[in-house]
Structure 1
Amino acid sequence: MRRVAITGMGVVAPGGTGVKEYWELLTEGRSAIRRISLYDPSPFRSRVAAEVDFDPVAAGLRPQETRRLDRAGQFAVVAAREALADSGVADAGVPADRIGTSLGSAVGCTTTLEREYVVLSDGGRMENVDHEYAVPELYWKFVPHSMAAEVAWAAGAEGPAAVVSTGCTSGLDALGHAADLIREGTVDVVVAGATEAPLSPITSACFDAIRGTTPDNDPPERACRPFDRTRRGLVLAEGAAVLVFEDLELARRRGAHVYAEVAGFASRCNAYHMTGLKPDGREMSAAIDAALAEARTDPAEIDYVNAHGSATKQNDRHETASFKRSLGDHARRVPISSIKSMIGHSLGAIGSLETAACALAMEHGVVPPTANLSEPDPDLDLDYVPNTAREARLDSVLTVGSGFGGFQTALVLTRPDRGGAAS
């Protein structure tokens, strides 16, 4: 079976566009969460989010692209271009039909769809809308595959192209699909990742209704507190991360820089409840066990765990139990952190953003912290790396995700030659 390398990364994230700015924010433990500015948040219980300061023109998009693409699509294309430039794979002579695309998103082009509905319905006052008032590109924003097609065009990729939409695990599941395409020999390169721009009144209303988001709006930067006794819910966010996955042997032959190897992946569904999680952690543990088995990695070899860490009591307890179940005594020794404390929860995009953070953590030998962790929950007794980044050699890293619908996903990254430096 062929092995899968990460040879390029591109990021559009709260706090900065580009991999360098993203990594600086995480290692400094800075929060990008603020009062929502994209719309009036005053009617809502939760009025904070992690927004991206994004200028499409400054990011290199042409006016035609800016008009055609939803905000989430704009993020995806910009991140893809950075990842492709970083990888240098365009100069490797890979045939176009040997390059695939795999893009995750939970809610697609929400921003445009809501805005256009408001216009067509005259602010919701008209039951029968007049389609003639719609922008010509509306259909392209309605169909979920549009963003994957845009990324494929940016990459010149004529191989398989797919959209993966599994809620908040979409960003991890899209990477898992990409790795499978390379392992089975269908393609040699996959441009893979996830994008999300969900920040809109309808999203705020939905999360308010289930009381999933925090009501702690002041100060905004302290709103997200995973594993803290005082946590009160997640903080919505937006962003994108795109990675270049490549057959490891091809990457080595062309002298590419390899950030990490995608060694193991698994996903499970609890078939139990749309939002509920059992406190014993069994469902996430099953995904972790399967990913470790595929990676041929012993639990005691894991050097860092990137937690889902959404700052809801239910999730924090579930995954703490899952780490203990899967990692045994090692769970008490391994550093664990949640970067959602700094960049919020960007739904389907977060898994790819977290995977990029894990690859950078391996590259630089630094574990990003869990910000705002000042009063640890006594029921959560693991090492959650509070507030300050920590230097450590990382040869094997586990990242996990949990999503509405009962989805549980785990992915394992390793150095291509464990115990030695990555090429």
Structure 2
Amino acid sequence: MRRSLFAAIFFVVACGVPGAIPPSSPVPSVSPAPSPSSSPDGRSLSLAAMQRVSATAGFVSGWTGTGLGLARTLDGGATWKKLTIPVSHLSELRFIDANVGWAIGFADRGQQVGCLQASSAPPCRSVVLRTDDGGLTWREVLSVPVGQGGGEMIHSLQAIDAAYAWVVVGDQSCPAFCGSELRGTTDGGTTWRTLYQGRVGPVRLASPRYGWIAAYGPSGIDYGADGGNVLVTSNGGATWSATLRGQPIIALEATDLQLVWALARDGAYCTASNCEKYELFRSDDAGATWKSLGNPKNQVASACGGGQLAGPLFASAARGWMGLNLGAGGAEGTGGLLSSDDGGATWRCAKVPANVALLSAADPDHVWVEGDDRTGSGASQIQSSDDGGRTWRALDLGSLR
């Protein structure tokens, strides 16, 4: 499986653990980026999701109104083909290979009718889609009408093959995303069943039987018994056991059935552009025991400064990355990219690529990272590496605008 991470709420896909890679700490080099451009009607490209599936194949999707639904490359990003989608936008992508894929989409009401506006038009819906031909055609396998808040009702898509997938579904009665359940399918989306009911954040499916979720108590993403807890299942979601307790977990990652990471963040130390207090945990026994790896930002403060972490994303037991971006705030700075070659024990940070919010790795060498141009256009830019992040080149997305 290929690996992706989506900052905002969340996360990563894929399995398979290549051998450990010797540590190295070169200074990354980056090829000049193409000048950010807009479409003829002035729209800037803003990516919702991306996934690098192999050295040559990958997919990107754009938000509603940017002119991009979905696009595919089969030559490492040298050229792109736009693909038609049956919804307004795709917010998450999970491709198993260049042909088989899953996606979360949002279908608006069309005709400039708002989701909460009184109208005879069909309601807005969040949907799960499946493709078997590389995104040329899609079929809808799950649909949930939007709730009172009008926002998207499905997030945190995980898929390990054409049959097994998880998603988190919201509570339609809530004015905001305050209630949810974990649903799973074992037959490619033909049927779904509830695996866990309650407040669910990030999830990580590693095999048909093994997976982890962050479940929140009455206090939400917080410390203590009423805060966040990592739960693990070894029987496909039939039963759950609490492992890492009382931590404000915002991201989960795993490279196999044993090696798991969890990232906690103290929201009291956050602004719109920066968060200071993180703690990264790692388990080598499927979550039975955990070791704190400390705050990655403390190791890189002098190199990259402030920002919010997106991640972690690990492509092997040793090699991983985290994005550093300035979020929705207007703070000055570059953000950057954190990298580790020892399983997250130590981190280094480079200011280029800058302001990284989305990450995807096909393997330890072939990586994409995305950030937006904060010099004026706000357009998304993708940097591609074929050597594990030692060097980077900018992909030309001009044809997608």
TM-score (normalised: structure 1): 0.33
Q: Which has the higher contact order (CA 8 A, sep 6+)?
A: 1
Relative to total residues, which structure has the larger helix share, 1 or 2? 1
TM-score by length of 2: 0.35
